């Protein structure tokens, strides 16, 4: 499983180049091309985790989808929800698939692969994506790199929280919320981070049981929590760097932070947006074209500038104002790599343990 020990992150400019380009396989390209070029078939349907589409139509998806349609004439039909929600929807539709491209956070992209939802296709430029951020068999490839984090209200709190223990403060009762593990990718990330920081499942569940006393309650979508935090309806919520950084441009009270144990250093881990071609999508050839576009240099150059994230390609190195700000956000934060194979295998058990501990 992916390698790497915690390491300080001073600046993020992409991933390490590993391996040669994968070749496309799977699917019937000629048949797909014929069907996709037929009248009324110039569409591609994307099921995606939230975070990359702007609330005001100014997000990375908004820009790159518009560019794709202008370039190819193919219209993008977009469906958004939590990572787990999107996978489950695709599972329910397996007898009559609707999505051509599925984009989710780990471990849900691995879950989608395990359920037979994806076919092998390595987009053009996939050779520039780190081996840890793509499947060896080409079933999925990261298109935007990202990192787990929390947000807080800068106006009502004099400073960012720094530790998990501070979140137990009675002053945060009913003013803290995190998205639902097993449903939202970022919510599942709360479990992953807690198990890492507290040294295992039992200790993490013991802490989350205590935290439940302050928790507002479930949320299927993480993106809805930042506006609540900015308005002061809640003061602390979970999120991820890309989404929250982009939101902070129109939400001035939003601050990003990374929890640590008392006396420890702040840590995080990568939560890339990983894209895969669905196994039996109605417009697979159009799906391939869209994946090529998302990983193309032009789209990748917009990841930091427009999306507030980190390019998936190692050869695309942003230098604009957003890239500088993002490097400051991540400065001094150690990045660890979860055992995604273990999490994929035991996700149901971890979520069940969380439900039992919190009474959810």
Across the range 191-205, mean pLDDT stands at: 97
pLDDT at residue 14 tops 70: no
**What pLDDT, on the 0 to 100 scale, is given for residue 41?**
80
Host H or E run for residue 192: helix 185-198
Closest CA to 43 of 276, 288, 286: 286
Across the range 138-163, mean pLDDT stands at: 97
DSSP-derived letter for residue 22 is P
pLDDT at residue 16 tops 90: no
User: Tokens representing 105?
Assistant: 């956070």
∠ CA 124-58-176, nearest 5°, is: 105
Helix residue ranges, H only, 199-336? 201-211, 225-231, 241-248, 284-294, 297-305, 321-330
**What pLDDT, on the 0 to 100 scale, is given for residue 55?**
84
∠ CA 57-61-67, nearest 5°, is: 95
pLDDT tens-place string over residues 212-232: 999 999 999 899 999 999 999
User: Tokens representing 175?
Assistant: 């003013």
Q: Dihedral angle at the C-alpha atoms of 80, 104, 187, 267, nearest 10 degrees?
A: -130
Q: Considering Cα of 28, then 31, then 34, then 40, what sign does the dihedral take?
A: negative
**What pLDDT, on the 0 to 100 scale, is given for residue 4?**
37
Whether the link from the prior residue into 107 is cis, omega within 30° of 0, is yes
pLDDT at residue 7 tops 60: no
pLDDT at residue 39 tops 80: no
pLDDT at residue 28 tops 50: no
Task: Specify whether the CB–CB gap between 277 and 271 falls below 8 A.
Answer: no
pLDDT at residue 27 tops 90: no
3-state secondary structure string across 39-66: CCCCEEEEEEECCCCCCCCCCHHHHHHH
Task: Specify whether the CB–CB gap between 196 and 336 falls below 8 A.
Answer: yes
Q: Which residue has the higher pLDDT, 31 or 204?
A: 204
pLDDT at residue 29 tops 90: no
């Amino acid at each position: 499983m992916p390698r790497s020990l915690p390491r300080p992150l001073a600046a993020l400019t992409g991933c390490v180049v590993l391996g040669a380009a994968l070749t496309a396989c799977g699917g019937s390209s000629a048949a797909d091309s014929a069907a996709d070029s037929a009248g009324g078939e110039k569409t591609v349907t994307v099921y995606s985790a939230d975070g990359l589409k702007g609330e005001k139509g100014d997000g990375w998806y908004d820009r790159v989808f518009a560019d794709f349609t202008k370039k190819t004439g193919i219209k993008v039909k977009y469906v958004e929800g939590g990572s787990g929600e999107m996978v489950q929807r695709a599972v329910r539709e397996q007898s009559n698939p609707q999505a051509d491209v599925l984009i989710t956070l780990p471990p849900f992209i691995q879950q989608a692969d395990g359920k037979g939802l994806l076919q092998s296709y390595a987009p053009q430029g996939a050779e520039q994506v780190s081996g840890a951020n793509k499947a060896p068999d080409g079933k999925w490839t990261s298109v935007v790199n990202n990192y787990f984090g929390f947000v807080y209200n800068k106006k009502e709190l004099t400073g960012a929280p720094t530790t998990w223990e501070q979140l137990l403060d009675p002053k945060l009762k009913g003013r803290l919320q995190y998205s639902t593990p097993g449903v939202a990718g970022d919510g599942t990330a709360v479990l992953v981070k807690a198990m890492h920081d507290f040294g295992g499942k039992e200790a993490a569940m013991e802490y989350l049981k205590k935290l439940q006393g302050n928790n507002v309650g479930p949320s299927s979508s993480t993106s809805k929590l930042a506006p609540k935090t900015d308005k002061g309806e809640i003061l602390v919520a979970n999120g991820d760097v890309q989404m929250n950084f982009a939101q902070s441009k129109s939400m001035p009270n939003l601050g990003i932070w990374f929890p640590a144990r008392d006396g420890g250093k702040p840590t995080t881990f990568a939560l890339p947006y990983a894209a895969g071609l669905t196994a039996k999508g109605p417009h697979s050839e159009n799906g391939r074209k869209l994946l090529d576009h998302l990983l193309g240099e032009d789209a990748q150059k917009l990841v930091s500038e427009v999306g507030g994230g980190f390019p998936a390609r190692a050869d695309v190195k942003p230098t604009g104002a957003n890239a500088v700000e993002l490097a400051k956000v991540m400065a001094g934060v150690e990045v660890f790599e979860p055992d995604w194979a273990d999490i994929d295998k035991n996700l149901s058990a971890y979520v069940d343990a969380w439900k039992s501990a919190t009474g959810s």
